[in-house]
């Protein structure tokens, strides 16, 4: 799962996103690292993607470019196979960038989830501002984040007739953060 909701199973939001968010053929791991790999797709594999037959026919006048337009047999994939180069993806995605979210995903003092968008059925946090907190700030200086625009709860937004409305003309709330540079 993504976001704050992954650590809070009491969340009743039916729109939580679960990993994998992308197909293993992209070569992106659950640690958000790209794994370069040379793949060739067979005629049978392309058919499994429900491409029209014309897309699988090599034009007679197609210029030969090795590894791009060559006609060598590729890897045949079926639904039971995984790509051998792609590590399996766990239930969460993460990265080693050391980023922090400006927003804590819970309204201070209320314990309710803050939301950034509200559609006809439910609210969710889908917008973020991430930053890298300074590990050793100069003495006396506050850490990087000095302020941010508060978000609202789903209940607050429903009391204003949802999003968009006369106060918030978008279906997403604005995010704003202020940082102190060293």
Q: Is residue 162 part of a domain?
A: yes
Q: What is the number of domains present in the chain?
A: 1
Q: Is residue 53 part of a domain?
A: no
- Above 80 in pLDDT, residue 53? no
Task: Assess whether the previous peptide bond of 93 is cis (omega < 30° from 0).
Answer: no
Q: Is residue 130 part of a domain?
A: yes
Domain region containing 130: 97-182
Q: Is residue 125 part of a domain?
A: yes
Helices (H), the chain: 43-48, 154-159
Q: Is residue 11 part of a domain?
A: no
- Above 60 in pLDDT, residue 141? no
- Output the pLDDT for position 43: 73
- Output the pLDDT for position 32: 74
Q: Which range among 31-35, 46-50, 142-146 shows the weakest confidence by mean pLDDT?
A: 46-50
Q: Is residue 90 part of a domain?
A: no
Element (H, E) at 117: strand 117-118
- Output the pLDDT for position 23: 72
How far apart, in whole angstroms, are the C-alpha atoms of residue 113 and residue 104? 9
Backbone phi, then psi, for 162, in 5-degree steps? Answer: 75, -165
Q: CB neighbours of 159 closer than 8 A, spacing ≥ 6? A: none
Alpha-carbon torsion (146, 149, 154, 159), positive or negative: positive
Q: CB neighbours of 105 closer than 8 A, spacing ≥ 6? A: 3, 4, 5, 113, 114, 125
Q: How confident is the model at residue 156 (pLDDT cuts 50, 70, 90)?
A: very high
Tokens of 126: 């889908």
More confident residue, 92 or 84: 92
Three-state DSSP at 101 gives: strand
pTM above 0.75, yes or no: no
Three-state DSSP at 35 gives: coil
């Amino acid at each position: 799962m993504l976001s704050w909701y992954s650590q809070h199973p009491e969340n009743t939001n039916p729109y939580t996103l679960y990993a994998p968010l992308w197909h293993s053929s992209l070569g992106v791991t659950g640690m958000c690292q790209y794994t370069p790999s040379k793949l060739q797709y067979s005629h049978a594999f392309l058919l499994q993607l429900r491409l029209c037959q014309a897309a699988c026919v090599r034009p007679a006048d197609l210029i030969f470019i090795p590894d791009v337009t060559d006609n060598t047999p590729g890897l045949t994939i079926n639904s039971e196979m995984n790509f051998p180069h792609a590590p399996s993806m766990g239930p969460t995605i993460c990265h080693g960038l050391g980023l922090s979210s400006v927003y804590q995903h819970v309204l201070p003092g209320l314990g309710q989830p803050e939301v950034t968008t509200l559609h006809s059925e439910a609210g969710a946090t889908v917008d973020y501002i991430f930053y890298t907190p300074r590990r050793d700030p100069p003495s006396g200086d506050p850490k990087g984040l000095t302020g941010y625009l508060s978000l609202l709860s789903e209940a607050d937004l429903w009391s204003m007739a949802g999003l968009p409305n006369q106060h918030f003309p978008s279906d997403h709330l604005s995010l704003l953060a202020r940082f102190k540079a060293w």
